[in-house]
Amino acid sequence: MPAVLLFLIFIILLVIAIPVSITLGITSVLPSVFDPSFTVGAKYLIRAMFGGLDSFPLLAVPMFVLSGIIMAKGGISKKLFDVFAYFLGRFTAGMPCAVIVTCLFYGAISGSAPATVAAVGSMTIPVLVALNYDKVFATALVAVAGGLGVIIPPSIPMIVYATVAGVSVGDMFIAGIIPGILIAICLMLYTYYYCWKHGEDKERINEVVDKIRAKGFGKLLRESFWALLTPVIILGSIYGGLATPTEAAVISVFYSLIVSLFIYKSLKPKDLIHIFKESVEYCLPALFILATAAAFARVLAILQMPQNLGIWIGSTFGTKMTLLIAINIFLLFLGMVMDTTPAIVIVAPILAPIVTGMGVNAVHFGIIVIVNLAIGFVTPPIGTNLFVASSVSGVEVLAIAKKAIPFLLFFLVALILITYIPALSLGLPSLMGLI
């Protein structure tokens, strides 16, 4: 079966709403069905599926998911927000910017965009509405800023990309720091403009900020210390040579349990059953997708699709600049119709060798992929962050999407800068001697 026909069938199955994992499984089997002489049969595909999951770095995914859920249920986001509101609250757009910084920081805990939206949004959206900010604006702000959860390390999509593209998870983590901060700054610029244009209820804002400041910085720092320490422990253990990213993920689980159960006492032992159940429900579909995607990638490799696609791209897009433009457009579209994990496991093995052959660093390309797909979290019809934010606030999905458009334009500005200024991604890893 020709690779083009196989891919066409793959797209058709997705269009008619067949689940991604089933689509990957069907298209992996089809060549052997139509051509009995094809070297990849059912037994081989099953082995490929198990082999795809037999990866030490991938063990970090369920661990970071579990850690993020524990932190979310433990009310960590509230403690982070109070710290940032303490410093930013009195400035123009200070409170919405505090929400963005909270999303940025919480991303360094959860590694997941939807988890960031759920944890931060459920707490901050009511606060912003009480301060007379437009509810749709507040919801759109959290939905877009939640995308920082997959850019700031630790990031679950980064782990997936590193696994399928054959690069270091640690390098990806460090490379995501400056792009994540850049995106946060771009979102804050628009937030400032919006608040300057529409005005703010300064009297009510000052009342809330005064209550936070009345605690005193010392008490506030003591209350939030353990939450603020989380990313330091995770990243410090990795780059201090004490743990691999997978081991750091396990450390984050135990740390989040200790903090939530014994220090903040925001969770009870009986809550853990529901938390474990929720993490399993989240992880199993993602891991099954990864397994079927591994089999699909093997089939594509045997059909020589990456090589043929590389030849076509090389002849069509002669320069690195035009190639990256085309890839960005493609990834933005892909993010609209496909969730992050399957998008990465399908695209990365095909495109990574092509772009590296044209002189693009694989780590830099990984950041480009992640940022593009982060935008996909806020673009219909998939737009996972939109649905999570809608469930938290009660605002209709389309209303959130419409209000999010200006935020996304600033997000795109950051994407362009990240794409064509490799130092934004590679500067920090190079400085640390990692690449």
Tokens for 422, please give them: 């490799």
Is the distance from CB of 99 to CB of 288 less than 8 angstroms? no
pLDDT range class, residue 158, cuts 50, 70, 90 = very high
Residue 60 is predicted with a pLDDT of 78
Distance CA 268, CA 287 (A): 29
Q: What pLDDT is attached to residue 139?
A: 95
Report the pLDDT value the prediction gives residue 19, as an integer from 0 to 100. Answer: 76
Q: What share of the chain is helix, strand, coil (3-state, %, to 5)?
A: 80, 0, 20
Residue 46, pLDDT > 80, answer no
Counting residues of the chain whose pLDDT is more than 90, the rounded percentage is 31
**How large is the greatest C-alpha to C-alpha distance in the chain, in angstroms?**
76
pLDDT value of position 266: 86
Across 389-403, average pLDDT = 90
Collapsing DSSP to helix, strand or coil, 380 comes out as coil
Single-letter residue type at 248: A
Instruction: Annotate 164-220 with DSSP letters as a single string.
Output: HHT--HHHHHHHTHHHHHHHHHHHHHHHHHHHHHH---HHHHHHHHHHHHHT-HHHH
- At residue 320's C-alpha, the angle toward residues 315 and 324, to 5°, is 100
Lowest mean pLDDT among 35-44, 262-271, 341-350: 35-44
CB 96 within 8 A of CB 184: no
Domains of the chain: which residue ranges?
Answer: 20-32+39-431
Selected residue with higher pLDDT from 310 and 367: 367
Task: Judge whether 58 and 249 are in contact, CB under 8 Å.
Answer: no
300-324 pLDDT, tens digit each: 777 776 667 666 776 777 788 888 9
**Residues 405, 345, 43: CA angle, nearest 5 degrees:** 150
Query: Which candidate, 291, 288, 298, 294, places its Cα nearest to that of 38?
Result: 298
Going by pLDDT thresholds of 50, 70 and 90, the confidence category of residue 28 is confident
Structure tokens that stand for 198 in this block: 């529409």
* Residues 201-229 pLDDT 10s: 999 999 989 988 888 888 888 888 888 88
E-state strands within 249-366: none
* pLDDT exceeds cutoff 70 at 377: yes
> Among the listed ranges 110-114, 172-176, 212-216, 311-315, which one has the minimum average pLDDT value?
311-315
pLDDT of residue 358: 83
- Residue 136's pLDDT band (boundaries 50, 70, 90)? very high
pTM: 0.83
The yes-or-no verdict on residue 132 having pLDDT over 70 is: yes
Phi/psi of residue 95, each to 5°? -70, -45
pLDDT tens per residue across span 355-365: 888 889 999 99
**Average pLDDT along the chain:** 85
